[in-house]
Amino acid sequence: MEDFRKSVAERFLRYTKFDTMSNPSLAGKKRPTTDGQIELLNVLKGELDELGLETYLGQEAVVRGVLKANKENIPTIGFMAHVDTADDVDGNHVKANKFIYEGGDIILNGGTTIKAAENPDLASFIGKEIITSDGTTLLGADDKAGVSEIMEAVKYLVSHPEIEHGDIEIYFTPDEETGSGMSKFPYQLLKSKCCYTFDGGREGEVEAECFNAATLELKVSGVSMHLGSARGKLVNAITVLSQIITTLPMSESPESTDGRYGYYCVLGIEGTSVEAKAELFIRDFDKANFEFRIEESKRIAEAIASIYHAKIEISTTISYRNMADANSKVPEATTSIMEAGKAIGLELYETIIRGGTDGARLAETGVPCPNIFTGGHNFHSLEEWVPVDSMNSAVNLLLSIVKWWAK
């Protein structure tokens, strides 16, 4: 494998300085939802321009770059990553640290500790470089590590024209964390037979299957009444909504499930006794179970609202579908990754995503889009960390995939 450790780490550290935390409350209202995202997208377009790629950045706020083929009759393939970071904890003002890990717990600022006992993979990187935040924000390896790895590979391909390839499309998207990143994707420009997202976790992971995902918005309207004379008259919207939430099975929540088990999860509730709203996430790998969960949630909500004589409105949004169908219809999508890894001595294994990627939305159009590791750990948390060696492996895997298609 080539050694990209110094350059990919420096690139990643540079990208982490952009404040690209997305804002779910503005999804569908502003694109991208935060200004820092468009700042980084403009920088990435500029860097691709400098490398000589054909580029595009339109009102969709998606960067497209094309590295033109240097040999005929090789399929067009694509690589994709998103520039936004999550808002689970503060994702702005990141102060990233790169250092040699010497073993044991990693003590960061603000009382944040990355515990060795809870992160067994750390033991593999004793004496090697890792990157963390300062402990007061997330790091942003999801997905600036993926962006960095793709950019490093493109730079290498440009400077090594002896590596044969067809057209290679590069896509950098906004607002993946809000679920709206692909809502205005320039699908009309896409030419790839197969695309790959670099948006996974620990080194070696390859993911060709993800959740089906939906969001239900529950809006309950109650009846206002002076509390002193409320008996038999007041209908408290918060009470109704709380009863709906507690009726959902706790054994089928994110904190109670793993593997292929789906779940119900209320992520937000707001309002007053007169009107209250809640956001309910539905996730399942199986299509039939997924559809059952949606309908069961509606039945529970409507039944409880009826008992309390409250009005309820329910809207359903499908966020993404399981990408397994599209990926299985083009076996080369996953085969190319596994054989490319073998060619460079990289041990890979296939797993599932208890979540989704922009690639899942792309797969709905029929273009397979498996997900590849970036090397990151503990995404969406203050304890996030990424080994530089793993980022190096991701860059080399991308290059090996390009060579696989050239065969």
Binding residues for Zn(2+): 82, 142, 177, 199, 380
Q: Active site residue: 19, 84, 175, 358, which one?
A: 84
CA proximity to 302, closest of 223, 232, 230, 247: 247
- Own/partner long-range contacts of 292-295 (Cβ < 8 Å, ≥24 apart): 293/262, 293/264, 294/214, 294/216
* Active-site annotation holds for 176: yes
Beta-bridge partner residues of 220: 276, 312
Q: How far apart, in Å, are the Cα atoms of 334 and each of 283, 324, 353, 384, 404?
A: 24, 11, 15, 28, 12
> Hey, which bits of 109-253 come out as E strands?
113-114, 129-132, 168-173, 194-200, 205-210, 212-221
Mark the binding-site residues, compressed into ranges.
Answer: 82, 142, 177, 199, 380
- Sort strands 349-353 and 205-210 into parallel, antiparallel or unpaired: parallel
Rounded to 5 degrees, what angle do the CA atoms 257, 279, 176 make?
A: 80
Cβ pair 31, 179 in contact under 8 A: no
Q: How far is CA 123 from the centre of its chain?
A: 26
Q: What is the DSSP letter of 312?
A: E
Q: Active site residue: 60, 129, 175, 176, which one?
A: 176
* Active-site annotation holds for 84: yes
Please give the span between the terminal C-alpha atoms of the chain, in angstroms, as a whole number: 19
Cβ pair 258, 225 in contact under 8 A: no
Residue 241: both structure tokens together: 């909504």
Q: What is the DSSP letter of 235?
A: B
Cβ pair 384, 378 in contact under 8 A: yes
Q: Amino acid letter at 87?
A: D
Rounded to 5 degrees, what angle do the CA atoms 185, 186, 189 make?
A: 145
**What gap in Å lies between CA 330 and CA 165, rounded to an integer?**
19
Listing from the earlier edge strand, what are the strands of the sheet with 129-132? Answer: 97-100, 129-132, 385-387
Q: Amino acid letter at 34?
A: T
Supply the residues annotated as catalytic.
Answer: 84, 176
